[in-house]
Amino acid sequence: MSLEEYTPSSNFISDIIEEDLKAGKYRGVHTRFPPEPNGYLHIGHAKSICLNFGLAEKYRGLCNLRFDDTNPIKEEAEYAESIIEDVRWLGFDWGDRLFYASDYFEKLYEYAVQLIRNGKAYVDDLSAEEIRQYRGTLTEPGRESPHRSRPVEENLALFGRMRAGEFGDGSRTLRAKIDMASGNLNMRDPVMYRILKSPHLRTGDKWRIYPMYDWAHGLSDSIEGITHSICTLEFEDHRPLYDWFLDALGAYRPKQMEFARLNISYTVMSKRKLLRLVQEGHVSGWNDPRMPTLSGLRRRGYTPEAIRNFCDRIGVAKTYSVVDIALLEHCLRENLNRSAPRVMAVLRPLRVVIDNYPENVVEELEALNNPEDPGMGTRRIPFSRVLYIEQEDFREEPPKDFFRLAPGREVRLKHAYIIKCERVVKDEKTGEITGLHCTYDPETKSGSPKGERKVKGTLHWVSAAHAHKAEVRLYDHLFVKPETEDENQCPDFKSCLNPNSLEVLKPCYVEPGMAGAAAGSRYQFLRLGYFCVDSASSSDGMPVFNRTATLRDTWAKIEKKQKTAGK
């Protein structure tokens, strides 16, 4: 799916937007994607990115990229740079509309002063713990702070001194004066500003106070002229506060709408948990190919087209659910099946000598690069007397229904000849199989008039003299339990980490044409799966290939069963 073809499918949010446009509430659509630069984006953010930018595309509107940089303790320039890279990689463009909440710090301060003057905000001396105690519970109303009735002029003076840095961190806050008995805890005099003497990634040491998310978010939307502020479901209870702040200031108010965030089996979506995995060394970094981050998925070999297709297929809903990771992998396979060139690679090599093949002869065999797309052309593969095949493709004592190589048995070598196993070579001490001696039938060359004799098994292979050494990393799910957020399955999310999520194989052997494969290039290794050239490392001069996905597609089988049952 190209970006030109991409617009999100209809959903309840697009239905609301269409009703608003028909009613003339808005002249156009203006959305935004507002990430916090406190971590790397993950696949859950991709859903929001595709939704916000996709709706703007669908209705020929605009979408801003705006960083919610209101907490300097957790924010870093590295995170902001990675977010910009990820959104661009997905295929979206914000034009000249890259903004930061910090762009509006002065304006937000002026708005706060306006609320104080109007008697709708006050400086509070309660500590964070005392504020929690005064807040009440879902069944009990809160209590008013003893500082709630401070005179306007005193509040203005104290707020100015807070900005000037005269007080210690956390010693005072600015709170909205709303209703301590409200049934919505977010409306019980929420904090608007806190004292935090930490340098900011963009404003340095200019500010000693920083706005809270609920205060900065709605006003930033208003300042930018956003029409539809689309948030995840946990912000539904914050919507009355979003509206109250803007109405109290007489400011333009966008329409906030909420949708259920993305949850995927065998995955965690909490940035806090992902940060722990990085900091505690359970993964190699934010871009570890096992991570659900967009940089990790990109390094593993995922395509932006597959992720956009996945986000479109899962839809937009109002209720919590967990999406089977098999659907994400299915979307990936669909895309790679059409786009990835086929090559042969041997991961666990077993040496094969074809005794009746001439010793100094090398044939160049022709193979299609992708049978799904003949336009991708063909390539030449060297064939010689000594080859490597997969260890698992040979059994000395084959079980029933094993159609690969065994003593006295014939198989076809892909694009080449039929061979027959004549003798097994073993290590004298261990008894381990170290090689095979075979013969070939020269009349069975693939594509030749006499080469159509049928056998049950077909194996991939590489020429030992011409193959290029490589390291291959086999990745699996990072967690062993599908419901990582379910405390019954995973009391502590780290207790469900998969100890076998990475297996490193070397040396492996790939076709000689793979020696100069560019970082990020994706291939299908015949019979083995989809692989990508690692973009961040090499091993002893060898290219490193990350397994992107296996060939087995469980979701396709699920869909087939569902369609059959529906008939």
Q: List the domains of the chain with CATH numbers.
A: 3-259 (3.40.50.620), 271-341+470-559 (1.10.1160.10), 345-460 (2.40.240.10)
Distance of CA 339 to the CA centre of its chain: 20
Do 33 and 49 touch, CB atoms closer than 8 A? yes
Do 56 and 31 touch, CB atoms closer than 8 A? yes
Do 332 and 547 touch, CB atoms closer than 8 A? no
Residue-level length of the chain: 567
Query: Can you read off the two tokens belonging to residue 64?
Result: 């801003």
Tell me the C-alpha distance between 307 and 44, whole Å: 11
Q: How many CA atoms lie within 13 A of 406 on its CB side?
A: 12
Tell me the C-alpha distance between 103 and 106, whole Å: 8
Tell me the C-alpha distance between 447 and 215, whole Å: 70
Tell me the C-alpha distance between 91 and 533, whole Å: 21
Residues of the chain predicted below pLDDT 70: 1-8, 554-567
Query: Can you read off the two tokens belonging to residue 508?
Result: 């492996």
- C-alpha dihedral over 297, 301, 302, 305, to 10 degrees? 140
pLDDT number for residue 1: 45
198 to 194, 236, 255, 387: CA distances (angstroms): 12, 31, 33, 63
- Helix extents (H) in 9-76: 12-22, 43-58
Bridge partners (DSSP) listed for residue 134? none
- DSSP codes of every residue in 438-454: EEEEGGG-TTSTT----
**Residues 183-226: tens digit of each pLDDT:** 999 999 999 999 999 999 999 999 999 999 999 999 999 999 99
Tell me the C-alpha distance between 417 and 354, whole Å: 11
**392-407 residues labelled b (16+ CB within 10 A) or e (exposed):** ebbeeeeeeeeebbbe
389 to 212, 428, 561: CA distances (angstroms): 61, 22, 35
Distance of CA 288 to the CA centre of its chain: 11
pLDDT number for residue 492: 87
pLDDT number for residue 561: 61
Tell me the C-alpha distance between 361 and 380, whole Å: 15
Query: Can you read off the two tokens belonging to residue 253?
Result: 């108010």
Tell me the C-alpha distance between 116 and 150, whole Å: 10
Indicate the pTM of the whole model: 0.92
User: Count of CB atoms within 10 A of residue 242's CB?
Assistant: 24
Do 412 and 457 touch, CB atoms closer than 8 A? yes
pLDDT number for residue 404: 96
H or E segment and range at residue 419:
strand 418-426
- Helix extents (H) in 91-209: 105-117, 128-135, 152-164
Question: Cβ-count burial of 424 within 10 angstroms (0-12 exposed, 13-18 middle, 19+ buried)?
Answer: middle
Cα-Cα-Cα-Cα dihedral sign, residues 241, 103, 195, 112: negative
Bridge partners (DSSP) listed for residue 350? 389
Catalytic residues: 36, 261, 271
| Geometric angle at alpha carbon 490, from 488 and 493, rounded to 5° | 150
- DSSP codes of every residue in 222-259: HHHT-SEEEEEGGGGGGHHHHHHHHHHHT---PEEEEE
**Residues 237-257: tens digit of each pLDDT:** 999 999 999 999 999 999 999
Query: Can you read off the two tokens belonging to residue 411?
Result: 């198989």
Encoded amino acid at 196, one letter? L
